[in-house]
Amino acid sequence: MTTTDLVLTAEGLTKSFGGVHALKGASITMRRGEVTALIGDNGAGKSTLVRCLSGIHRPDSGTITLDGEEVQLDSPLDARAHGIETVQQNLALVEDLTVWQNFFVGRELTRGVGPVRLLDRRAMREQAGQLLSGLAVNVPPVTSRVRRLSGGQRQAVAIARAAGWGSAMVIMDEPTAALGVQETARVEEVIRRLQDSGVAVLLISHNFDQVLRLAQHVWVMRAGLAVAERRADQTSGDELVALITGAKAA
Amino acid sequence: MNPTAPTSASAPTPTAGPSRTPEAAPPARRVVAALAEARHLSFWAENAAPIGLVVLVVVFSILSPTFLTLGNLTAMLVAGAILVILAVAQSFVITTGGIDLSISATMTIGAVGFGLAFRAGLPFWPAAAVALASATVIGLVNGLLIAKGKVTDFIATLGTLGVATGAALILTDGRPISVFSTELLTLTTGKIGFLPYPFLLAAVVAVLAWVVMFRTRYGLHVQAVGGSEEAAVANGVKAPRVRIAVYVWAAALAGLASLLLVARIGAAEPAINTTYLLNSIAAVVLGGVSLTGGRAKIVGPVLGALLLTALTNGLTLLAVSQFYQPLAVGLVVVLAALLTRYQKR
Protein backbone atom coordinates (compact mmCIF):
# COMPACT_ATOMS: atom_id res chain seq x y z
CA MET A 1 0.00 0.00 0.00
CA THR A 2 1.37 3.39 -0.97
CA THR A 3 0.72 6.61 0.89
CA THR A 4 -1.49 7.89 -1.93
CA ASP A 5 -4.05 5.30 -0.87
CA LEU A 6 -4.39 7.21 2.38
CA VAL A 7 -6.89 10.02 2.35
CA LEU A 8 -5.97 11.03 5.88
CA THR A 9 -3.06 10.52 8.20
CA ALA A 10 -3.06 11.87 11.74
CA GLU A 11 0.24 11.45 13.53
CA GLY A 12 1.12 11.86 17.16
CA LEU A 13 -1.85 14.06 18.08
CA THR A 14 -1.82 15.29 21.66
CA LYS A 15 -4.40 17.42 23.36
CA SER A 16 -4.73 18.37 27.02
CA PHE A 17 -7.52 20.16 28.81
CA GLY A 18 -5.97 21.60 31.95
CA GLY A 19 -4.39 18.57 33.60
CA VAL A 20 -6.37 16.02 31.62
CA HIS A 21 -4.44 14.44 28.78
CA ALA A 22 -7.24 13.47 26.41
CA LEU A 23 -4.91 12.57 23.56
CA LYS A 24 -1.37 11.32 24.23
CA GLY A 25 0.01 11.00 20.73
CA ALA A 26 -2.73 9.24 18.83
CA SER A 27 -2.08 8.25 15.22
CA ILE A 28 -4.63 6.91 12.74
CA THR A 29 -4.89 6.54 9.00
CA MET A 30 -7.89 6.37 6.70
CA ARG A 31 -7.85 4.71 3.31
CA ARG A 32 -9.50 6.17 0.27
CA GLY A 33 -13.03 4.97 -0.39
CA GLU A 34 -13.30 3.03 2.84
CA VAL A 35 -15.39 3.22 5.96
CA THR A 36 -12.97 3.46 8.87
CA ALA A 37 -14.40 2.82 12.31
CA LEU A 38 -13.09 4.38 15.48
CA ILE A 39 -14.01 2.50 18.63
CA GLY A 40 -13.06 2.72 22.27
CA ASP A 41 -14.48 3.05 25.75
CA ASN A 42 -15.90 6.31 27.06
CA GLY A 43 -13.03 8.67 27.77
CA ALA A 44 -10.64 6.85 25.45
CA GLY A 45 -10.22 10.02 23.41
CA LYS A 46 -12.43 9.28 20.40
CA SER A 47 -14.39 12.49 20.61
CA THR A 48 -11.30 14.64 21.14
CA LEU A 49 -9.60 13.04 18.16
CA VAL A 50 -12.66 13.62 16.02
CA ARG A 51 -12.92 17.20 17.21
CA CYS A 52 -9.33 17.78 16.17
CA LEU A 53 -10.10 16.41 12.71
CA SER A 54 -13.23 18.51 12.29
CA GLY A 55 -11.47 21.70 13.35
CA ILE A 56 -13.24 22.22 16.66
CA HIS A 57 -10.07 21.61 18.73
CA ARG A 58 -6.51 22.39 17.72
CA PRO A 59 -4.15 19.62 18.74
CA ASP A 60 -1.29 20.68 21.04
CA SER A 61 1.12 18.77 18.85
CA GLY A 62 1.09 16.32 16.00
CA THR A 63 0.26 16.60 12.33
CA ILE A 64 -2.78 16.03 10.14
CA THR A 65 -2.10 15.12 6.54
CA LEU A 66 -4.82 15.18 3.89
CA ASP A 67 -4.08 13.72 0.48
CA GLY A 68 -0.37 13.90 1.21
CA GLU A 69 -0.50 17.53 2.25
CA GLU A 70 -0.07 18.68 5.83
CA VAL A 71 -2.94 20.92 6.93
CA GLN A 72 -3.82 23.19 9.84
CA LEU A 73 -7.48 22.99 10.78
CA ASP A 74 -8.23 26.10 12.79
CA SER A 75 -12.03 26.05 12.63
CA PRO A 76 -14.91 23.90 11.43
CA LEU A 77 -15.13 26.13 8.36
CA ASP A 78 -11.43 25.48 7.75
CA ALA A 79 -11.93 21.73 7.94
CA ARG A 80 -14.88 22.07 5.62
CA ALA A 81 -12.80 24.02 3.13
CA HIS A 82 -10.36 21.08 3.14
CA GLY A 83 -13.17 18.68 2.31
CA ILE A 84 -13.83 17.32 5.81
CA GLU A 85 -17.51 17.39 6.74
CA THR A 86 -18.75 16.33 10.14
CA VAL A 87 -22.20 14.98 10.98
CA GLN A 88 -22.41 15.95 14.61
CA GLN A 89 -24.19 13.83 17.13
CA ASN A 90 -26.78 16.59 17.58
CA LEU A 91 -26.99 16.77 13.74
CA ALA A 92 -26.85 20.60 13.70
CA LEU A 93 -30.27 20.83 12.05
CA VAL A 94 -32.60 23.78 12.64
CA GLU A 95 -35.93 22.09 13.40
CA ASP A 96 -38.06 25.08 12.41
CA LEU A 97 -36.56 25.21 8.92
CA THR A 98 -37.36 22.96 5.98
CA VAL A 99 -35.10 20.23 4.69
CA TRP A 100 -33.80 22.27 1.77
CA GLN A 101 -33.24 25.29 3.98
CA ASN A 102 -31.18 23.15 6.33
CA PHE A 103 -29.18 21.84 3.39
CA PHE A 104 -28.19 25.29 2.29
CA VAL A 105 -28.20 27.51 5.36
CA GLY A 106 -24.83 29.23 5.50
CA ARG A 107 -24.12 28.34 1.86
CA GLU A 108 -27.18 29.60 0.06
CA LEU A 109 -27.53 29.81 -3.68
CA THR A 110 -28.65 33.24 -4.79
CA ARG A 111 -29.55 34.97 -8.00
CA GLY A 112 -29.90 38.60 -8.89
CA VAL A 113 -27.90 41.58 -10.03
CA GLY A 114 -25.10 43.18 -8.08
CA PRO A 115 -25.80 43.60 -4.38
CA VAL A 116 -29.51 42.79 -4.81
CA ARG A 117 -29.55 39.04 -4.37
CA LEU A 118 -32.51 36.79 -3.73
CA LEU A 119 -32.46 33.15 -2.72
CA ASP A 120 -32.59 30.76 -5.65
CA ARG A 121 -35.16 28.61 -3.94
CA ARG A 122 -35.94 26.38 -6.86
CA ALA A 123 -32.32 25.47 -7.51
CA MET A 124 -31.78 24.75 -3.83
CA ARG A 125 -34.91 22.60 -3.57
CA GLU A 126 -33.90 20.60 -6.63
CA GLN A 127 -30.34 20.03 -5.55
CA ALA A 128 -31.36 19.08 -2.05
CA GLY A 129 -33.91 16.65 -3.48
CA GLN A 130 -31.36 15.08 -5.81
CA LEU A 131 -28.72 14.66 -3.12
CA LEU A 132 -31.21 13.21 -0.69
CA SER A 133 -32.83 10.76 -3.11
CA GLY A 134 -29.40 9.70 -4.30
CA LEU A 135 -28.53 8.55 -0.81
CA ALA A 136 -31.66 7.44 0.94
CA VAL A 137 -34.89 5.59 0.38
CA ASN A 138 -38.09 6.86 2.00
CA VAL A 139 -36.90 10.44 1.68
CA PRO A 140 -39.07 13.21 3.10
CA PRO A 141 -40.14 15.98 0.72
CA VAL A 142 -37.50 18.70 0.84
CA THR A 143 -40.22 21.24 1.70
CA SER A 144 -41.14 19.55 4.98
CA ARG A 145 -39.93 20.95 8.23
CA VAL A 146 -37.23 19.00 10.00
CA ARG A 147 -39.39 19.00 13.14
CA ARG A 148 -41.77 16.61 11.39
CA LEU A 149 -39.10 14.10 10.39
CA SER A 150 -38.28 10.85 12.13
CA GLY A 151 -34.89 10.34 13.73
CA GLY A 152 -33.68 8.26 10.80
CA GLN A 153 -34.86 10.81 8.26
CA ARG A 154 -33.07 13.55 10.15
CA GLN A 155 -29.90 11.50 10.19
CA ALA A 156 -30.24 10.94 6.43
CA VAL A 157 -30.72 14.67 5.87
CA ALA A 158 -27.65 15.53 7.93
CA ILE A 159 -25.55 12.90 6.15
CA ALA A 160 -26.75 13.92 2.69
CA ARG A 161 -25.96 17.53 3.52
CA ALA A 162 -22.45 16.60 4.60
CA ALA A 163 -21.97 14.52 1.49
CA GLY A 164 -23.31 17.17 -0.81
CA TRP A 165 -20.39 19.53 -0.81
CA GLY A 166 -17.94 17.50 -2.81
CA SER A 167 -16.30 16.48 0.42
CA ALA A 168 -13.54 13.89 0.45
CA MET A 169 -14.28 12.71 3.95
CA VAL A 170 -17.30 12.61 6.24
CA ILE A 171 -17.01 12.09 9.99
CA MET A 172 -20.01 10.55 11.74
CA ASP A 173 -20.33 10.50 15.48
CA GLU A 174 -22.66 7.72 16.65
CA PRO A 175 -25.06 8.11 13.71
CA THR A 176 -27.52 5.46 14.92
CA ALA A 177 -27.23 5.86 18.68
CA ALA A 178 -30.80 7.10 19.10
CA LEU A 179 -32.48 5.04 16.39
CA GLY A 180 -34.64 1.93 16.26
CA VAL A 181 -33.80 -1.19 14.31
CA GLN A 182 -35.46 -0.23 11.03
CA GLU A 183 -34.18 3.30 11.06
CA THR A 184 -30.68 2.06 11.86
CA ALA A 185 -30.81 -0.19 8.81
CA ARG A 186 -31.83 2.75 6.64
CA VAL A 187 -29.03 4.95 7.92
CA GLU A 188 -26.53 2.13 7.38
CA GLU A 189 -27.74 1.94 3.81
CA VAL A 190 -27.10 5.67 3.47
CA ILE A 191 -23.56 5.18 4.75
CA ARG A 192 -22.96 2.39 2.24
CA ARG A 193 -24.17 4.52 -0.63
CA LEU A 194 -22.00 7.35 0.57
CA GLN A 195 -19.01 5.02 0.48
CA ASP A 196 -19.99 3.84 -3.01
CA SER A 197 -19.85 7.40 -4.19
CA GLY A 198 -16.18 7.52 -3.25
CA VAL A 199 -16.34 9.37 0.05
CA ALA A 200 -14.18 8.18 2.93
CA VAL A 201 -16.19 7.80 6.11
CA LEU A 202 -14.89 7.93 9.67
CA LEU A 203 -17.47 6.20 11.82
CA ILE A 204 -17.55 6.47 15.58
CA SER A 205 -19.71 3.74 17.02
CA HIS A 206 -20.22 1.67 20.14
CA ASN A 207 -22.02 -1.03 18.22
CA PHE A 208 -19.51 -3.73 17.22
CA ASP A 209 -21.93 -5.56 14.96
CA GLN A 210 -22.50 -2.34 13.10
CA VAL A 211 -18.78 -1.65 12.89
CA LEU A 212 -18.13 -5.10 11.43
CA ARG A 213 -21.06 -4.68 9.02
CA LEU A 214 -20.07 -1.29 7.68
CA ALA A 215 -16.36 -0.73 8.12
CA GLN A 216 -13.41 -2.15 6.27
CA HIS A 217 -10.89 -0.92 8.81
CA VAL A 218 -11.10 -0.50 12.57
CA TRP A 219 -9.02 1.64 14.90
CA VAL A 220 -9.19 0.94 18.62
CA MET A 221 -8.53 3.74 21.10
CA ARG A 222 -7.58 3.36 24.73
CA ALA A 223 -6.38 6.01 27.19
CA GLY A 224 -5.66 8.70 24.61
CA LEU A 225 -3.86 6.45 22.15
CA ALA A 226 -4.86 4.52 19.07
CA VAL A 227 -3.62 1.17 20.35
CA ALA A 228 -4.59 -1.21 17.58
CA GLU A 229 -5.85 -1.45 14.03
CA ARG A 230 -7.57 -4.37 12.36
CA ARG A 231 -9.07 -5.17 9.01
CA ALA A 232 -12.75 -5.70 9.66
CA ASP A 233 -12.84 -9.08 7.89
CA GLN A 234 -10.00 -10.40 10.04
CA THR A 235 -11.37 -9.63 13.47
CA SER A 236 -14.34 -10.39 15.65
CA GLY A 237 -16.49 -8.64 18.19
CA ASP A 238 -14.78 -10.56 20.98
CA GLU A 239 -11.36 -9.47 19.83
CA LEU A 240 -12.47 -5.84 19.60
CA VAL A 241 -13.85 -5.97 23.14
CA ALA A 242 -10.57 -7.43 24.36
CA LEU A 243 -8.63 -4.69 22.60
CA ILE A 244 -10.83 -1.95 24.02
CA THR A 245 -10.59 -3.15 27.60
CA GLY A 246 -6.90 -3.93 27.33
CA ALA A 247 -7.47 -7.62 28.07
CA LYS A 248 -5.63 -8.28 24.86
CA ALA A 249 -2.51 -6.32 23.99
CA ALA A 250 -2.30 -4.88 20.50
CA MET B 1 -23.73 8.91 -7.35
CA ASN B 2 -21.39 11.79 -7.74
CA PRO B 3 -21.80 14.35 -4.99
CA THR B 4 -22.06 17.58 -6.87
CA ALA B 5 -20.98 20.77 -5.21
CA PRO B 6 -24.18 22.85 -5.21
CA THR B 7 -22.18 26.06 -5.42
CA SER B 8 -22.85 26.08 -9.14
CA ALA B 9 -26.10 27.97 -9.38
CA SER B 10 -26.71 26.99 -12.99
CA ALA B 11 -28.65 23.81 -12.33
CA PRO B 12 -31.04 22.78 -15.09
CA THR B 13 -34.54 23.71 -14.09
CA PRO B 14 -37.53 21.76 -15.40
CA THR B 15 -40.20 24.02 -16.85
CA ALA B 16 -43.17 22.14 -15.45
CA GLY B 17 -41.98 19.94 -12.65
CA PRO B 18 -44.55 18.23 -10.46
CA SER B 19 -45.01 20.35 -7.40
CA ARG B 20 -45.64 19.03 -3.95
CA THR B 21 -46.40 22.42 -2.51
CA PRO B 22 -49.98 23.04 -1.41
CA GLU B 23 -50.18 26.42 -3.16
CA ALA B 24 -50.25 24.60 -6.49
CA ALA B 25 -53.59 22.93 -5.72
CA PRO B 26 -56.66 24.16 -7.63
CA PRO B 27 -58.66 26.84 -5.78
CA ALA B 28 -61.76 24.66 -5.24
CA ARG B 29 -59.72 21.96 -3.57
CA ARG B 30 -57.97 24.57 -1.47
CA VAL B 31 -61.30 25.81 -0.14
CA VAL B 32 -62.37 22.27 0.72
CA ALA B 33 -59.02 21.66 2.38
CA ALA B 34 -59.37 24.88 4.34
CA LEU B 35 -62.83 23.87 5.55
CA ALA B 36 -61.51 20.50 6.62
CA GLU B 37 -58.72 22.26 8.46
CA ALA B 38 -61.24 24.49 10.24
CA ARG B 39 -62.31 21.60 12.44
CA HIS B 40 -58.91 21.63 14.10
CA LEU B 41 -57.95 24.10 16.77
CA SER B 42 -54.63 24.58 15.02
CA PHE B 43 -56.46 26.24 12.11
CA TRP B 44 -57.79 28.92 14.44
CA ALA B 45 -54.43 29.27 16.09
CA GLU B 46 -52.57 29.70 12.80
CA ASN B 47 -55.05 32.27 11.54
CA ALA B 48 -55.93 34.13 14.73
CA ALA B 49 -55.11 37.56 13.32
CA PRO B 50 -57.11 37.44 10.05
CA ILE B 51 -60.07 35.72 11.72
CA GLY B 52 -60.03 38.20 14.60
CA LEU B 53 -59.81 41.10 12.18
CA VAL B 54 -62.81 39.89 10.18
CA VAL B 55 -64.82 39.28 13.36
CA LEU B 56 -64.02 42.75 14.67
CA VAL B 57 -64.92 44.43 11.38
CA VAL B 58 -68.26 42.58 11.23
CA VAL B 59 -69.12 43.28 14.87
CA PHE B 60 -68.15 46.95 14.78
CA SER B 61 -69.88 47.62 11.46
CA ILE B 62 -73.10 46.20 12.93
CA LEU B 63 -72.75 48.21 16.12
CA SER B 64 -71.62 51.46 14.54
CA PRO B 65 -72.76 52.80 11.15
CA THR B 66 -69.65 55.00 10.93
CA PHE B 67 -67.17 52.13 11.21
CA LEU B 68 -67.16 51.01 7.58
CA THR B 69 -67.31 54.51 6.04
CA LEU B 70 -64.47 55.53 3.78
CA GLY B 71 -63.54 58.37 6.12
CA ASN B 72 -63.18 56.08 9.10
CA LEU B 73 -61.33 53.39 7.14
CA THR B 74 -58.83 56.00 5.95
CA ALA B 75 -58.44 57.29 9.49
CA MET B 76 -57.76 53.74 10.68
CA LEU B 77 -55.16 53.15 8.01
CA VAL B 78 -53.38 56.38 9.02
CA ALA B 79 -53.59 55.49 12.69
CA GLY B 80 -52.43 51.92 12.08
CA ALA B 81 -49.37 52.76 9.96
CA ILE B 82 -47.03 53.40 12.91
CA LEU B 83 -48.03 50.19 14.65
CA VAL B 84 -47.65 48.18 11.43
CA ILE B 85 -44.07 49.41 11.02
CA LEU B 86 -43.23 48.74 14.67
CA ALA B 87 -44.82 45.29 14.52
CA VAL B 88 -42.76 44.37 11.47
CA ALA B 89 -39.61 45.53 13.28
CA GLN B 90 -40.55 43.65 16.43
CA SER B 91 -41.32 40.55 14.37
CA PHE B 92 -37.74 40.40 13.09
CA VAL B 93 -36.38 40.69 16.63
CA ILE B 94 -38.77 38.09 18.02
CA THR B 95 -37.97 35.67 15.19
CA THR B 96 -34.40 35.55 16.50
CA GLY B 97 -35.82 34.64 19.90
CA GLY B 98 -35.16 38.13 21.27
CA ILE B 99 -37.39 41.04 22.19
CA ASP B 100 -37.01 44.79 21.83
CA LEU B 101 -38.57 46.58 24.79
CA SER B 102 -36.90 49.83 23.75
CA ILE B 103 -38.71 50.05 20.41
CA SER B 104 -41.14 52.82 21.31
CA ALA B 105 -38.52 54.73 23.32
CA THR B 106 -36.32 54.48 20.23
CA MET B 107 -39.17 55.97 18.23
CA THR B 108 -39.37 58.79 20.77
CA ILE B 109 -35.63 59.44 20.41
CA GLY B 110 -36.11 59.57 16.64
CA ALA B 111 -38.92 62.09 17.04
CA VAL B 112 -36.87 64.21 19.43
CA GLY B 113 -33.87 64.02 17.08
CA PHE B 114 -36.09 65.26 14.27
CA GLY B 115 -37.55 68.03 16.40
CA LEU B 116 -34.18 69.31 17.61
CA ALA B 117 -32.69 69.22 14.13
CA PHE B 118 -35.71 70.99 12.70
CA ARG B 119 -35.65 73.64 15.41
CA ALA B 120 -31.96 74.18 14.68
CA GLY B 121 -32.98 75.19 11.18
CA LEU B 122 -32.39 72.02 9.19
CA PRO B 123 -34.80 71.35 6.31
CA PHE B 124 -37.09 68.32 6.36
CA TRP B 125 -34.89 65.69 4.70
CA PRO B 126 -31.70 66.30 6.73
CA ALA B 127 -33.84 66.41 9.89
CA ALA B 128 -35.40 63.11 8.87
CA ALA B 129 -31.91 61.68 8.43
CA VAL B 130 -31.09 62.84 11.98
CA ALA B 131 -34.19 61.05 13.22
CA LEU B 132 -33.18 57.79 11.54
CA ALA B 133 -29.57 58.09 12.69
CA SER B 134 -30.38 58.83 16.33
CA ALA B 135 -32.82 55.93 16.47
CA THR B 136 -30.34 53.59 14.81
CA VAL B 137 -27.74 54.38 17.49
CA ILE B 138 -30.05 52.88 20.12
CA GLY B 139 -30.46 49.78 17.99
CA LEU B 140 -26.71 49.44 17.60
CA VAL B 141 -26.26 49.68 21.37
CA ASN B 142 -28.96 47.02 21.84
CA GLY B 143 -27.33 44.74 19.32
CA LEU B 144 -23.84 45.09 20.76
CA LEU B 145 -25.06 44.58 24.33
CA ILE B 146 -26.95 41.44 23.37
CA ALA B 147 -24.67 39.85 20.77
CA LYS B 148 -21.25 40.87 22.10
CA GLY B 149 -21.94 41.70 25.74
CA LYS B 150 -24.12 38.58 26.17
CA VAL B 151 -26.66 40.62 28.14
CA THR B 152 -30.15 39.08 28.11
CA ASP B 153 -32.28 40.80 25.45
CA PHE B 154 -34.95 41.60 28.02
CA ILE B 155 -32.51 43.40 30.33
CA ALA B 156 -30.48 45.11 27.60
CA THR B 157 -33.51 46.65 25.91
CA LEU B 158 -35.10 47.46 29.26
CA GLY B 159 -31.94 49.43 30.00
CA THR B 160 -31.94 51.28 26.70
CA LEU B 161 -35.68 51.90 27.17
CA GLY B 162 -34.80 53.80 30.33
CA VAL B 163 -31.82 55.57 28.81
CA ALA B 164 -33.68 56.62 25.67
CA THR B 165 -36.72 57.80 27.60
CA GLY B 166 -34.54 59.84 29.94
CA ALA B 167 -32.42 61.25 27.13
CA ALA B 168 -35.54 62.36 25.26
CA LEU B 169 -36.80 64.20 28.35
CA ILE B 170 -33.40 65.77 29.08
CA LEU B 171 -32.79 66.91 25.49
CA THR B 172 -36.16 68.62 25.25
CA ASP B 173 -36.52 69.77 28.86
CA GLY B 174 -39.63 67.64 28.88
CA ARG B 175 -41.46 69.96 26.50
CA PRO B 176 -42.79 69.07 23.04
CA ILE B 177 -41.13 70.76 20.08
CA SER B 178 -43.71 72.08 17.64
CA VAL B 179 -42.92 71.34 14.04
CA PHE B 180 -44.47 73.10 11.06
CA SER B 181 -43.26 71.53 7.88
CA THR B 182 -45.08 71.23 4.57
CA GLU B 183 -43.43 67.86 3.94
CA LEU B 184 -44.78 66.50 7.20
CA LEU B 185 -48.21 67.88 6.40
CA THR B 186 -48.12 66.13 3.03
CA LEU B 187 -46.95 62.94 4.70
CA THR B 188 -49.91 62.87 7.06
CA THR B 189 -52.66 64.19 4.76
CA GLY B 190 -51.61 63.09 1.27
CA LYS B 191 -53.14 60.07 -0.36
CA ILE B 192 -53.19 58.10 -3.59
CA GLY B 193 -56.80 57.23 -4.32
CA PHE B 194 -58.22 56.60 -0.87
CA LEU B 195 -54.94 55.16 0.41
CA PRO B 196 -53.19 57.65 2.69
CA TYR B 197 -49.40 58.09 2.47
CA PRO B 198 -48.64 56.75 5.96
CA PHE B 199 -50.42 53.51 5.13
CA LEU B 200 -48.61 53.24 1.78
CA LEU B 201 -45.30 53.77 3.57
CA ALA B 202 -46.19 51.03 6.05
CA ALA B 203 -47.27 48.75 3.19
CA VAL B 204 -43.95 49.27 1.40
CA VAL B 205 -42.10 48.49 4.64
CA ALA B 206 -44.16 45.33 5.14
CA VAL B 207 -43.59 44.09 1.58
CA LEU B 208 -39.86 44.75 1.75
CA ALA B 209 -39.68 43.07 5.14
CA TRP B 210 -41.44 40.02 3.72
CA VAL B 211 -38.99 39.82 0.82
CA VAL B 212 -36.01 40.20 3.16
CA MET B 213 -37.34 37.59 5.59
CA PHE B 214 -38.37 34.92 3.12
CA ARG B 215 -36.34 35.54 0.00
CA THR B 216 -32.86 36.60 1.12
CA ARG B 217 -29.91 34.94 2.83
CA TYR B 218 -30.20 37.37 5.70
CA GLY B 219 -33.82 36.41 6.38
CA LEU B 220 -32.96 32.72 6.34
CA HIS B 221 -30.14 33.39 8.80
CA VAL B 222 -32.53 35.28 11.09
CA GLN B 223 -34.83 32.24 11.15
CA ALA B 224 -31.92 29.83 11.58
CA VAL B 225 -30.45 31.76 14.51
CA GLY B 226 -33.87 31.94 16.14
CA GLY B 227 -34.55 28.26 15.54
CA SER B 228 -31.24 26.95 16.84
CA GLU B 229 -28.27 29.25 17.23
CA GLU B 230 -25.98 26.28 17.81
CA ALA B 231 -26.98 24.57 14.56
CA ALA B 232 -26.86 27.84 12.64
CA VAL B 233 -23.33 28.57 13.84
CA ALA B 234 -22.24 25.01 13.05
CA ASN B 235 -23.33 25.67 9.48
CA GLY B 236 -21.33 28.85 9.18
CA VAL B 237 -23.96 31.47 10.05
CA LYS B 238 -22.43 34.44 11.86
CA ALA B 239 -24.98 34.60 14.64
CA PRO B 240 -23.70 37.72 16.48
CA ARG B 241 -23.76 39.72 13.26
CA VAL B 242 -27.30 38.55 12.50
CA ARG B 243 -28.45 39.55 15.98
CA ILE B 244 -26.85 43.01 15.86
CA ALA B 245 -28.38 43.65 12.45
CA VAL B 246 -31.84 42.68 13.66
CA TYR B 247 -31.77 45.28 16.45
CA VAL B 248 -30.26 47.91 14.16
CA TRP B 249 -32.98 47.37 11.56
CA ALA B 250 -35.69 47.40 14.19
CA ALA B 251 -34.41 50.73 15.49
CA ALA B 252 -34.11 52.19 11.99
CA LEU B 253 -37.74 51.24 11.37
CA ALA B 254 -38.66 52.85 14.69
CA GLY B 255 -36.88 55.98 13.40
CA LEU B 256 -38.99 55.85 10.25
CA ALA B 257 -42.12 55.44 12.35
CA SER B 258 -41.06 58.48 14.40
CA LEU B 259 -41.54 60.66 11.31
CA LEU B 260 -45.13 59.46 11.05
CA LEU B 261 -45.55 60.11 14.76
CA VAL B 262 -44.28 63.70 14.51
CA ALA B 263 -46.39 64.26 11.41
CA ARG B 264 -49.47 62.94 13.21
CA ILE B 265 -49.05 65.01 16.37
CA GLY B 266 -47.52 68.04 14.67
CA ALA B 267 -44.83 68.09 17.34
CA ALA B 268 -41.89 66.06 18.59
CA GLU B 269 -43.01 64.90 22.01
CA PRO B 270 -40.72 63.31 24.57
CA ALA B 271 -43.66 61.14 25.66
CA ILE B 272 -43.11 57.57 26.74
CA ASN B 273 -45.54 55.87 24.29
CA THR B 274 -45.80 52.64 26.30
CA THR B 275 -48.91 51.70 24.37
CA TYR B 276 -46.91 51.41 21.16
CA LEU B 277 -44.41 49.11 22.86
CA LEU B 278 -47.05 46.79 24.27
CA ASN B 279 -49.10 46.84 21.09
CA SER B 280 -46.08 46.06 18.90
CA ILE B 281 -45.45 42.91 20.92
CA ALA B 282 -49.18 42.17 21.06
CA ALA B 283 -49.45 42.47 17.26
CA VAL B 284 -46.63 39.98 16.80
CA VAL B 285 -48.22 37.53 19.25
CA LEU B 286 -51.59 37.98 17.52
CA GLY B 287 -49.81 37.30 14.25
CA GLY B 288 -48.98 33.84 15.52
CA VAL B 289 -45.25 34.32 16.04
CA SER B 290 -43.81 32.24 18.85
CA LEU B 291 -41.80 34.26 21.35
CA THR B 292 -39.24 31.45 21.45
CA GLY B 293 -38.17 32.39 17.93
CA GLY B 294 -37.46 30.44 14.79
CA ARG B 295 -40.83 30.75 13.07
CA ALA B 296 -40.96 33.93 11.03
CA LYS B 297 -44.16 35.71 10.07
CA ILE B 298 -44.72 39.12 8.51
CA VAL B 299 -48.31 39.07 7.26
CA GLY B 300 -49.59 37.85 10.64
CA PRO B 301 -48.07 40.70 12.68
CA VAL B 302 -49.25 43.26 10.10
CA LEU B 303 -52.80 41.91 10.41
CA GLY B 304 -52.34 41.84 14.18
CA ALA B 305 -51.41 45.53 14.12
CA LEU B 306 -54.46 46.33 11.99
CA LEU B 307 -56.65 44.29 14.35
CA LEU B 308 -55.45 46.25 17.38
CA THR B 309 -56.01 49.50 15.50
CA ALA B 310 -59.52 48.45 14.51
CA LEU B 311 -60.23 47.42 18.09
CA THR B 312 -59.18 50.80 19.48
CA ASN B 313 -61.00 52.64 16.72
CA GLY B 314 -64.21 50.65 17.13
CA LEU B 315 -64.27 51.08 20.90
CA THR B 316 -63.79 54.83 20.43
CA LEU B 317 -66.65 54.97 17.92
CA LEU B 318 -68.88 53.12 20.36
CA ALA B 319 -67.98 55.76 22.95
CA VAL B 320 -66.51 53.16 25.27
CA SER B 321 -64.37 54.88 27.86
CA GLN B 322 -60.66 55.03 27.02
CA PHE B 323 -60.00 53.18 30.25
CA TYR B 324 -61.40 50.01 28.69
CA GLN B 325 -59.06 50.02 25.70
CA PRO B 326 -55.96 48.56 27.38
CA LEU B 327 -58.26 46.03 29.03
CA ALA B 328 -59.66 44.94 25.67
CA VAL B 329 -56.21 44.79 24.07
CA GLY B 330 -54.92 42.76 27.00
CA LEU B 331 -57.75 40.25 26.79
CA VAL B 332 -57.33 39.83 23.03
CA VAL B 333 -53.59 39.25 23.42
CA VAL B 334 -53.98 36.69 26.19
CA LEU B 335 -56.58 34.86 24.12
CA ALA B 336 -54.26 34.86 21.11
CA ALA B 337 -51.37 33.63 23.21
CA LEU B 338 -53.50 30.78 24.53
CA LEU B 339 -54.47 29.89 20.96
CA THR B 340 -50.85 29.76 19.78
CA ARG B 341 -50.41 26.71 21.99
CA TYR B 342 -52.46 24.82 19.44
CA GLN B 343 -50.37 25.84 16.47
CA LYS B 344 -48.82 23.10 14.41
CA ARG B 345 -45.16 22.98 15.03
CB atoms within 10 A of CB A219: 24
Q: How far is CA B1 from CA A157, A196, A197, B5, B49, in A?
A: 16, 8, 5, 12, 47
Inter-chain touch B345–A110, beta carbons under 8 Å: no
Helix, strand, or coil here: A37?
strand
Check CB contact under 8 Å for B228 and A164.
no
Q: Which residue of B has its CA nearest to A89?
A: B231
Q: For the packed helices B70-95 and B299-317, what is the interaxial angle rounded to 10 degrees?
A: 140
What are chain A's domains? 1-83+167-249 (3.40.50.300), 95-165 (no CATH)
| Interface contact B236, partner A, CB < 8 A | yes
Which residues of A are less than 8 Å from B216 in CB distance?
Answer: 110, 117-119
- Please indicate whether residue B199 or residue A42 has the higher confidence score (pLDDT): B199
Residue B6 and residue A124: Cβ atoms within 8 Å?
yes
Is residue B245 within 8 Å of B234, Cβ to Cβ?
A: no
Q: List, for residues A22-42, the tens digit of each pLDDT value.
A: 999 999 999 988 999 999 988
- pTM of the predicted model as reported, rounded to 2 decimal places: 0.84
Neighbouring CB atoms inside 10 A of A193's CB total 18
Burial string for B213-228 (b: 16+ CB within 10 Å, else e) reads: bbbbbbbbbbbbbbbb
- Write the CB contacts of B50 (distance below 8 Å, at least 6 apart in sequence): B303
Binding-face residues of B in 4-43 toward A, CB within 8 A: 4-7, 9, 11, 13, 17, 20-21
Residue B127: phi and psi, rounded to 5, are -65, -40
Map residue B272 onto helix, strand or coil. Answer: coil
Residues A61-74 have a mean pLDDT of 91
* pLDDT tens digits, one per residue of B277-332: 999 999 999 898 888 888 999 999 999 999 999 999 999 999 998 888 889 888 98
Report how far residue B252's alpha carbon sits from residue B331's, in angstroms, rounded to the nearest whole number.
Answer: 30
User: ipTM of the assembly?
Assistant: 0.82
Closest CA to A62 of A45, A53, A217: A53
C-alpha to C-alpha distance for B297 and A173, rounded to whole angstroms? 35
pLDDT tens-digit map of A82-115:
989 988 888 889 999 999 999 999 889 999 888 8
Lowest-pLDDT range of A57-61, B22-26, B303-307: B22-26
**Contact call for residues B38 and B342 (beta carbons, < 8 A):** no
Q: Is A94 in contact with B21 (Cβ distance < 8 A)?
A: no
CA dist., res. B224 & res. A45, Å (int): 32
User: Residue B17's Cα: distance from chain center in Å?
Assistant: 36
A170, B44, B236 from A188: Cα distances, Å:
14, 42, 27
C-beta of residue B216 within 8 angstroms of C-beta of residue B156: no
Distance separating alpha carbons of residues B146 and B291, to the nearest angstrom: 17
- Distance of alpha carbon A219 from alpha carbon B6, whole angstroms: 33
- CB-based contact B220 A101, cutoff 8 Å: yes
What number of other Cβ atoms are within 10 A of residue A235's Cβ? 18
Specify the higher pLDDT residue, A140 or B60. Answer: B60
